[in-house]
Amino acid sequence: MIYSDGAQAISSMKINQIVIAPIGMAQPLNKRHHFFIKAVNNEEVSTNLGSASVSASLVGTADFPVGVWSYDDLVSEAKRKRNTALVLTALAGAASAYSASQSAYSYDSGSFSGSDSYGGYYSGSYSGYSYNPAIADTAVAISTMQTAQNMALIESGLAAELSSYGEVLKLTTVFPGYEHGGVLVIDKLSKRNYGDTLRLRLDFGSEIHFFDFDLINPKPEKEKSSPKNISKTEQGEVRAPRPNGSSWKFGNGNKSESTSEVKLKKFE
């Protein structure tokens, strides 16, 4: 059994060695998938490794490309989301400040009547607005402070997200006898892809390495009358590569015994 950075992995060995470990195999297909990749350069010349070295596709009746996200792609997306959130927060803050300033206005109305010293009688009504600047200043200050706090949370969220991308595979020159690794991020898949095969192709040095992953529904329909079938669906597992290829299965596999494959428990 092969491990890479503590995760179960599969290896492709030619002149160079490529090791790939799926990360978080239990996640649903509507989330981006992550793989840890490590490449060992056993050739006599240096070669580059980065997200551009990898392509992904769904293999079936026709190959369908799957997007691979580079570090720059992920950073740009995070910053776009941050900028959009800041604009919306600023607009909401301006509206809140205006609303707060209006709270300083108060409306009053009433009527009056009486008699004067000459025996005359008078009556009337009044209405109008009054403005209290102290109330306005306090309300606007509270609204402005809340907007600033919201913007600070957005900035801290961006910093945390960028920090999480620190291990994403970046373009690096790998010299002979050295190795390099990082996290590969691919596009979201969907439930309709269950039953398909996800194929990763890695071009490294003079070689091309392929890795196939079967996408298996982790929650197939259960047969209520059969406890055995229920246990099959609830006990998730992945399968290690067969001796003659690099292949793994996501989700729940067939429980039948086979001497040509080794069962591994699904890891989070």
174 and 58 share one domain: yes
29 and 109 share one domain: no
First to last CA, the chain: 17
Q: How far apart are CA 203 and CA 235, in angstroms?
A: 36
Amino acid at residue number 17: Q
Domain final residue pick, 113, 141, 164:
164
243 and 135 share one domain: no
H-run or E-run covering 184: strand 179-186
Chain centre to alpha carbon of residue 15: 35
Tokens found for residue 122: 């008078």
153 and 93 share one domain: yes
Q: What percent of the chain has pLDDT over 70?
A: 63
194 and 250 share one domain: yes
101 and 159 share one domain: yes
Q: Which residues contact 139 (CB under 8 A, 6 or more apart)?
A: 100, 101, 103, 104
pLDDT exceeds cutoff 60 at 253: no
Lowest mean pLDDT among 19-23, 37-41, 109-113: 109-113
85 and 43 share one domain: no
Helix, strand, coil % over all residues of the chain, rounded to 5: 30, 35, 35
pLDDT exceeds cutoff 70 at 123: no
Q: What is the pLDDT of residue 237?
A: 37
38 and 92 share one domain: no
174 and 65 share one domain: yes
Does pTM top 0.75 for this prediction?
Answer: no
Q: Closest Cα partner for 169 from 52, 47, 25, 2?
A: 52
Chain centre to alpha carbon of residue 225: 39
173 and 66 share one domain: yes
Averaged pLDDT, 230-257: 39
> ∠ CA(182), CA(264), CA(56), 5° rounding?
40
Amino acid at residue number 9: A
Averaged pLDDT, 234-255: 39
> ∠ CA(154), CA(159), CA(165), 5° rounding?
130
Averaged pLDDT, 199-218: 88
DSSP 168: B
184 and 64 share one domain: yes
Q: How far apart are CA 205 and CA 174, in angstroms?
A: 10
pLDDT exceeds cutoff 50 at 132: yes
pLDDT band at residue 215 using 50, 70 and 90 as cut-offs: confident
pLDDT band at residue 53 using 50, 70 and 90 as cut-offs: very high
Q: What is the pLDDT of residue 157?
A: 87
Rounded to the nearest integer, the mean pLDDT of the chain is 75
| Domain span holding position 126 | 74-164
Averaged pLDDT, 9-33: 81
Domain final residue pick, 108, 143, 164:
164
66 and 173 share one domain: yes
**Structural domain count of the chain:** 2
pLDDT exceeds cutoff 90 at 17: yes
Residue 188, domain CATH? 2.60.40.10
Lowest mean pLDDT among 8-22, 28-42, 134-148, 179-193: 134-148
Q: What is the pLDDT of residue 95?
A: 81
Lowest mean pLDDT among 74-88, 112-126, 244-258: 244-258
User: pLDDT tens digits, residue range 60-109?
Assistant: 756 789 999 999 999 998 899 989 998 888 888 888 777 777 666 666 66
Q: Specify the higher pLDDT residue, 231 or 68.
A: 68
What would the DSSP string read from start to end of 203-222? Answer: EETTEEEEEEEEE--SSPPP
| SS3 state at 246 | coil
Domain final residue pick, 97, 130, 164:
164
Q: What is the pLDDT of residue 207?
A: 95
pLDDT exceeds cutoff 60 at 262: no
